[in-house]
């Protein structure tokens, strides 16, 4: 779309007539991308973005590279939400035959959107739905009743257990205005995902499960999260949107994170730990809010002594 037409849709002034081919995060944007800025945590991405245009507040405009067009807004998130309605994906309602590579097998009751590719020796079992433009790698097993939404990518040697949903919408609203989730989910090689997990597609860009990660049952991963290589996520963990886990992170059962934070390589979060801020790697944390485990144990001991005095 022409940038001028997009600006008319959100009632904003724009003198530029460049063509916008996609919406993207500041970090991933290219010269034909439109992005937005509303969170100071991404100020460095704003300063270096290659986006053709950015929706942002007037006071932030001086930080934008001079090559980019500034679209001034009092509420950039809300205006970007309105723009996403112009780029939302409309899935097909028909069932198509997938492209099957050598040795691939699919159950008769599995259903497929258009342009689906199933890799060599992969197996799609009964009751699965694989949406438009999904690519599934070689030697991957998808157990019954798994749903993979449009545009997602699954790597080689993966296992996805029954009832899991990959690519459903992340929870994105600007007040009551829906922020259409137009990204996807990318699952890299050698990943195992347990039963009844939900992995939300990205608002912009990709939610990524990196190679070798292992996910237990009943896990919620929010939009734009990144699960690091060889991480281990135990049952009933919940990750809020834009959480980034480094390599080899271990999260115990029922632990959780707030959004837009990073957990460093090889960090361990004890069961029921609540992560409210970014944490360094190579340390073990526990409690809510999560602190280093030794400090948490001292706090629990001190609390017990205080209670016993009464």
223 is catalytic: yes
The 3-state secondary structure of 210-237 reads CCCCEECCCCEECCCCEECCCCEECCCC
Which tokens in the block code for residue 28? 């991933």
Residues 6+ apart with CB under 8 A from 183: 201, 202, 203, 204, 205, 206, 207, 223, 224
Which tokens in the block code for residue 234? 């135990």
Q: Among residues 95, 93, 124, 125, which one has the least CA distance to residue 112?
A: 95
Specify whether the CB–CB gap between 183 and 169 falls below 8 A: no
Exactly one of 9, 150, 223, 260 is catalytic; name it.
223
Strands 291-292 and 284-286: antiparallel
Whole-number Å distance between alpha carbons of 297 and 114: 54
Instruction: Give 48: exposed, middle or buried? Use CB within 10 Å, 0-12, 13-18, 19+.
Output: exposed
Q: Among residues 179, 118, 113, 178, which one has the least CA distance to residue 154?
A: 118
Q: Which residues are catalytic?
A: 223
């Amino acid at each position: 779309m022409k940038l001028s037409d997009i600006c008319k849709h959100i009632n904003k002034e724009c003198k530029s007539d460049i063509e916008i081919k996609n919406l993207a995060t500041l970090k991933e944007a290219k010269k034909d991308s439109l992005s937005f800025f509303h969170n100071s945590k991404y100020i460095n991405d704003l300063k270096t973005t290659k986006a053709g245009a950015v929706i942002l507040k007037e006071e932030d405009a001086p930080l934008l590279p001079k090559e980019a067009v500034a679209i001034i807004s009092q509420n950039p998130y809300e205006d970007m939400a309105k723009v996403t309605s112009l780029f939302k994906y409309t899935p097909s309602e028909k069932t198509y035959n997938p492209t099957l590579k050598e040795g691939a097998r699919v159950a008769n009751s599995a259903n497929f959107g258009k342009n689906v590719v199933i890799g060599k020796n992969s197996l799609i079992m009964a009751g699965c739905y694989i949406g438009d433009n999904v690519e599934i790698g070689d030697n991957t097993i998808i157990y019954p009743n798994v749903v993979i939404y449009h545009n997602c990518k699954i790597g080689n040697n993966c296992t996805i257990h029954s009832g899991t949903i990959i690519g459903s919408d992340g929870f994105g609203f600007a007040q009551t205005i829906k922020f259409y989730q137009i990204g996807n989910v990318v699952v890299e090689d050698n990943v195992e995902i347990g039963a009844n997990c939900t992995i939300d597609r990205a608002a912009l860009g990709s939610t990524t499960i990196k190679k070798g990660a292992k996910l237990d049952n009943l896990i919620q991963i929010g939009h734009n999260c990144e699960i690091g290589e060889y991480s281990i996520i135990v049952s009933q963990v919940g990750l809020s949107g834009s959480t980034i886990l480094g390599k080899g992170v271990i999260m115990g059962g029922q632990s959780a994170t707030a959004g837009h934070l990073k957990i460093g390589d090889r960090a361990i979060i004890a069961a029921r730990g609540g992560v409210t801020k970014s944490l360094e790697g190579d340390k073990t944390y526990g409690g809510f809010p999560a602190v280093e485990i030794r400090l948490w144990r001292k706090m629990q001991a001190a609390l017990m002594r205080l209670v016993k005095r009464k």
